[in-house]
Structure formats: C-alpha cells, structure tokens
C-alpha cells in the first residue's frame, strides 16, 4: 500500500511539473485556436469543417503531450533509481536532452570534482593532525616516566602529592591517545574471549594507590567468566569508570559485581549525579554540576566510554541519585560478535 501511494504521488508530481513547464505552449495553442475559430467564423466557413480541423489538431497535440509525458515519467523514475543508488559516477547520469540539462550536468560534475578535492584535502589534514598528536603523546610519555622514577626515590607527603598529580597527567595523555584512536578509521580491535577477572584486576591495580590515598574500600570477588570483547578497549572503559568513582567518592566504597546475564556493575557511594544531568552525561564535553564543581573535568571520559562500548557492541548505562552514589552497568553479552 505504501509503495502504491508513493508511486501515485510520484505520478502526480511528474504530471504537475510537466504541465507547469508547458503552460506557455498550451496557452499559445489555445490562443491560436481562438484566432483560427474567429477567422473561420468571419469567413462563414462550415462549422463541421472547423470542428474537424480543430479536433485533428487537438488529437495531435494530446498525442505529442502523452508521448512527452511518458518520457518525463520514465526520466523521473530513472532519477529516483539514481538517487537510491548514490553515489554514482558522472558518466552514469542520463544523457542530457536539452542545453539546460547539459549545463546542469556540467555544474554537477564540477561540484563533484571540487567536493572530492576538498574531501581529500580534509582527509590529509586529519591524518597529519592525528600523526602529530600521536607522536606528541608518545614523546610526552618519556619525561613522565623520568619524573615518576625520580619521585619513587622518596616517600614524603609532598612526593605522594606530586605522584598523584603525575598520575592524573598520565590519565589525560592516555585519554588523548584513546580519543584519536576512536575517531580514526583504523581497525584497532582484537575480538576474542578474554578472562574478565584479568581485565578487572588490571584496572584495579592501576588505581590501587588512589584507593589507598583516599582510604576507600573495594568490594570485588572473582567472577570466573570469559567475555567476548577487545581487552584494551574494555580495560579503557573500566579505568575511566573507576577513575570517576574514585574522583567523586570522598568516603565509603566501590563495588564491582557481575550478574548472571553478564552485566558488569560498578557502584560507588559517592556524591551521585543530579537527575537533570543524567540524560546528558554521555555527551561530548558535558561536565554537569559535579564537573563544574570539580573544575578539572574534561567531559570526555564517559563520552569515550560510550563510544568505545558501542564499537565493542557493549551497552553502557548509568543509574544515580544525589548523595546515594552511582551505578554504571556494562552489558557484556555480545551475541552478535564472533571470535577470531
């Protein structure tokens, strides 16, 4: 039924456009017919002869219009087929019937060439930018490593404070690299079954000093489950979530649990998220009330988590109440993926 309605609408639109383009010719025909009728009447010609000649002319006009309309309808259907199969090469356009159509096709070809050139230029600029920032990220890791080795020699409050700030710098550097990789077209993914406990332990081990520094408790029991995912990117997601849990939890605990249907829950007893901020926490650059209060939030962590989870076919969601903590859930049941 929908297809019939679309066809009928297309037919009416072609007919309306056809008549609109030929209204001047039809008007001229009517004027000429009126002139001939007036002249014939002045010469007292027989009415039958006038009607016969007029009928023949009208019949010929209708035949020409019908043939032209059929060509217009076929041409419209051809254009619709081209539209459904975009993009196409310039030589695949229908042959121009008029000078105006030929000019329009030349304009389209020129626009296509300019668009392709602009796209190529943009791709080159984008690749150069990615190469530059990727090189910068790898180069900045060297002085960071040297600074960390220097700080490891002393165990004073000042050195611990500097180590914490240096750890934060490392997080930002890793976030930049992850941001570049997620926006690139490269297939930086290795999907296979991984031990979930191993990935969780790596994330917990990385943030263990912050747990100790803030005197937060961690509740986690081994789950003994394998999940189909990419280890590096799932680890990145867990690290970002743990980082937020530690950042916004001043006292209490962080819990990591797994449901029977492979939903990983990371909950904390932190300050929670305002209800008006919840729908937007995965938006790029959105910091919300907590981020504005902290003044150090980038608004990229959860955005990158959502994007990375989508690439892994994982679903991530957040439940939170102000003052009651936050629960981040990651659905790891990826039935659509296949192992290598």
Min mean pLDDT across 6-10, 32-36, 115-119, 199-203 is at 6-10
User: What's the mean pLDDT in 70-94?
Assistant: 71
Q: Helix, strand, or coil here: 279?
A: helix
Query: How would residue 291 be classed by pLDDT, with cut points 50, 70 and 90?
Result: low
Q: How far is CA 42 from each of CA 47, 49, 54, 57, rounded to the nearest angstrom?
A: 12, 14, 16, 20
Beta carbons within 10 angstroms of residue 70's beta carbon: 10
pTM above 0.75, yes or no: no
Q: Give the chain's largest Cα–Cα span.
A: 123
What CATH number should be reported for the domain whose range is 192-331? 3.30.565.10
Query: How would residue 75 be classed by pLDDT, with cut points 50, 70 and 90?
Result: confident
pLDDT of residue 286: 76
Tens digits of residue pLDDT in 21-67: 777 777 777 777 777 777 777 777 676 766 777 777 778 878 887 88
The dihedrals phi and psi of 225, each to the nearest 5 degrees, come to: -135, 140
Query: How would residue 182 be classed by pLDDT, with cut points 50, 70 and 90?
Result: confident
Query: How would residue 265 be classed by pLDDT, with cut points 50, 70 and 90?
Result: very high
Cβ-contact 183, 307 below 8 angstroms: no
Q: How far is CA 50 from each of CA 31, 96, 240, 295, 323, rounded to the nearest angstrom?
A: 15, 40, 90, 91, 95
Beta carbons within 10 angstroms of residue 78's beta carbon: 12
Best CA proximity match to 316, nearest among 307, 223, 176, 325? 307
pLDDT of residue 60: 81
* Number of residues written out for the chain: 340
Give CA angle at 218 (214, 220), nearest 5°: 165
């Amino acid at each position: 039924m929908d297809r019939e309605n679309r066809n009928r609408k297309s037919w009416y639109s072609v007919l309306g456009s056809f008549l609109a383009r030929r209204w001047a010719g039809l008007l001229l025909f009517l004027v000429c017919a009126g002139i001939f009728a007036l002249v014939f009447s002045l010469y007292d010609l027989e009415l039958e002869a006038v009607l016969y000649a007029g009928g023949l002319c009208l019949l010929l006009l209708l035949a020409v219009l019908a043939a032209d309309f059929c060509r217009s309808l076929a041409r419209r259907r051809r254009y619709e087929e081209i539209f459904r199969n975009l993009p196409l090469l310039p030589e695949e356009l229908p042959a121009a019937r008029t000078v105006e159509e030929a000019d329009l096709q030349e304009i389209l070809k020129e626009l296509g060439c300019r668009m392709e050139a602009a796209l190529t230029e943009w791709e080159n600029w984008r690749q150069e930018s990615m190469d530059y920032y990727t090189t910068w990220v790898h180069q900045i890791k060297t002085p960071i490593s040297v600074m960390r080795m220097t700080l490891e020699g002393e165990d004073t409050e000042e050195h611990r404070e500097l180590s914490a700030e240096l750890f934060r710098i490392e997080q930002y550097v890793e976030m930049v690299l992850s941001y570049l990789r997620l926006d690139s077209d490269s297939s930086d993914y290795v999907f296979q079954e991984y031990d979930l406990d191993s990935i969780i332990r790596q994330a917990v081990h990385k943030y263990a000093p912050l747990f100790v520094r803030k005197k937060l408790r961690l509740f986690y029991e081994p789950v003994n489950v394998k999940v189909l995912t990419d280890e590096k990117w799932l680890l990145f997601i867990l690290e970002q979530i743990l980082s937020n849990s530690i950042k916004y939890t001043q006292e209490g605990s962080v819990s990591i649990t797994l449901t029977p249907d492979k939903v990983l829950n990371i909950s904390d007893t932190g300050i929670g998220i305002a209800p008006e901020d919840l729908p937007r926490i995965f938006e790029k650059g959105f910091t919300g009330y907590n981020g504005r209060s902290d003044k150090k939030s980038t608004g990229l962590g959860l955005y990158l988590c959502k994007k990375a989870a989508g690439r892994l076919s994982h679903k991530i969601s957040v439940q939170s109440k102000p003052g009651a903590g936050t629960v981040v859930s990651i659905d790891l049941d990826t039935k659509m993926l296949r192992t290598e």
